[in-house]
Structure 1
Amino acid sequence: MSEDVPVKGLRRVELRSNDPAGSAEYYRRLFGWIVMPADDGTLRCWVGDRLAALIRRPADWETPGWHLVLGGRPTALLADPAGVTATLDPGRVRHGPWAPPPRHGEPCWVELMTADTTDDYWAQHLGWTLRAPGEGSDIKPFALFDAPDDGSAARSVASRLLVDEATATDVGATWMCYLAATDIKLVTDTAVEGGGTVLIDPREVPTGVIAAVADPFGAVCTLLEDPIGWGGAWAAV
């Protein structure tokens, strides 16, 4: 367990890409990211003064795609029984319910998509509790992970969605990364122009207006239009 639980949000997201430069250019067109190469060969992508994402080649044992880097100590790689991973990294949380509202191109929510109930694993390691979003609701198939804060009410940091085995096999158990989009139709159109694929057209869900896109290299993220805060509509729940 982290020495600093509860974990209250993200340091950043990482995009592990076999073509870091191509990925960086694709997302720069979508979100206007400021892309800055680092001495270690990674590409650091900024929205204003906040680091939104880091793009790098995956190590031999890593799966390409989006990966969460959560604010917590000590540094650790977490892997639940279903094989879903996340990294703990010491330092300031830049994205979460206690951080400033997400801007266009910034991470704005994360959702655990899994066919297995691994809630206890993440609750134990991150200091979270699981909550149904409505009174009298069951935590299946959807629930919120909450983190307490000294002197204030708990807030939702992430969600969990149980999917069927076929979906889990096709998509894979994963943490889905949501990115804020001021104009979701414009971003999906730009994604297609850049060689990406719209997997879910813009639609209204309890979180807000979302769309899902795959970039030209296969990495999938969800867009959330103009969220009022971390988690969109969940920020007010």
Structure 2
Amino acid sequence: MAEDGPIRGLRRIELRATDPASAAEHYRQLFGWIVMTAEDGTLRCWVGDRLAVLVRPPTSWETTGWHAVFGGRPSALLTDPAGISATLDPGRVRHGPFAPPPRHGEPCWIELMTATATDDYWNRELGWATRAAGQARDIKPFALHTVASDEDTPGERAIAGRLLIDAATAAGVGTTWMTYFAVSDIEAATDAAVLAGGTVLIEPREVETGLLAAIADPFGTVSTLLQDPIGWGGAWAS
């Protein structure tokens, strides 16, 4: 682990899209984002005063879809042994267990979906630990990555999930950092996703994290919606 201490959350989520304007418009309709074009041509998507997502085209060597950008460290690109990557950014953390509770349209959780457990890599690089979720004793197939709390709050907090998936799921959804977004009404949000040209992959259902649904946008990028999370990670926040 670097001497700078553990990573405590996201600076932002990036959406790498072949048609950034259309992708941003889809999510503006879904989440009500304020979309602004920056000087470098990227689209900055805001919820109030917090940057939620940056939308841009991928470079020649990048894949499309969501990409996690963690805050609080010098810039670097990390890639685990399974080929899943994340970026470090020196800016402050905007989303995570130590940030304000997520509002409608903001990232509210991330989950590493992978066919190969790479816990040791992320724990070493980001200063995290891994433990079983809830009352479970086994970290397979699902586990929580945790980060130590600050001096005023002893213990640890859940910062990300890790889900081992089979080859068929990996082929269909991909191995990636699955991005969760907070919504105030999940039924209304899934309806809005369809009206905006998307597809509902998993109808609203109650799971350990909370009431969630999975959607794909018109370009095939998959995300998860979580209704009224009490904090980062929904039920894991407690």
Provide TM-score, normalisation by structure 1. 0.97
Task: Give the deviation of 1:82 after TM superposition.
Answer: 0.7
What is the aligned counterpart of 2:179 among 174, 177, 180? Answer: 177
Partner of 1:36: 36
Partner of 1:98: 98
CA–CA separation in structure 2 for the residues paired with 1:109 and 1:30: 18
1:105-120 superposed matches below 5 A: 105-120=105-120
Are 2:149 and 1:149 equivalent residues in the alignment? yes
Task: Give the deviation of 1:136 after TM superposition.
Answer: 5.4
Structure 1 gap ranges (5+): none
Whether the 8 Å CA contact 1:3–1:72 is kept in 2: the answer is no
Task: Give the deviation of 1:53 after TM superposition.
Answer: 0.4
CA–CA separation in structure 2 for the residues paired with 1:38 and 1:3: 33
Partner of 1:81: 81
CA–CA separation in structure 2 for the residues paired with 1:119 and 1:113: 12
1:1-237 superposed matches below 5 A: 1-135=1-135, 137-151=137-151, 152=153, 153-236=155-238
Whether the 8 Å CA contact 1:2–1:72 is kept in 2: the answer is no
- Give the CA RMSD over aligned residues: 1.1
Counterpart amino acid of residue 192 in structure 1: V
3-state SS of 1:46 partner: strand
Whether the 8 Å CA contact 2:173–2:222 is kept in 1: the answer is no
Counterpart amino acid of residue 35 in structure 1: V
- What does the per-residue CA deviation read over 1:86-130, in whole Å, with 9 as the maximum and x for residues that have no partner? 100011100000000000000000001111010000000000000
Alpha-carbon distance change, 218 to 3 in structure 1, aligned in 2, over 3 angstroms: farther
Structure 1 runs (4+) deviating above 4 angstroms are none
3-state SS of 1:39 partner: coil
Task: Give the deviation of 1:217 after TM superposition.
Answer: 1.0
Percent identity of equivalent pairs: 69
Task: Give the deviation of 1:194 after TM superposition.
Answer: 1.0
Task: Give the deviation of 1:135 after TM superposition.
Answer: 4.1
Counterpart amino acid of residue 17 in structure 2: S
- The count of corresponding residues between Structure 1 and Structure 2 is 236
CA–CA separation in structure 1 for the residues paired with 2:82 and 2:41: 31
Counterpart amino acid of residue 56 in structure 2: R
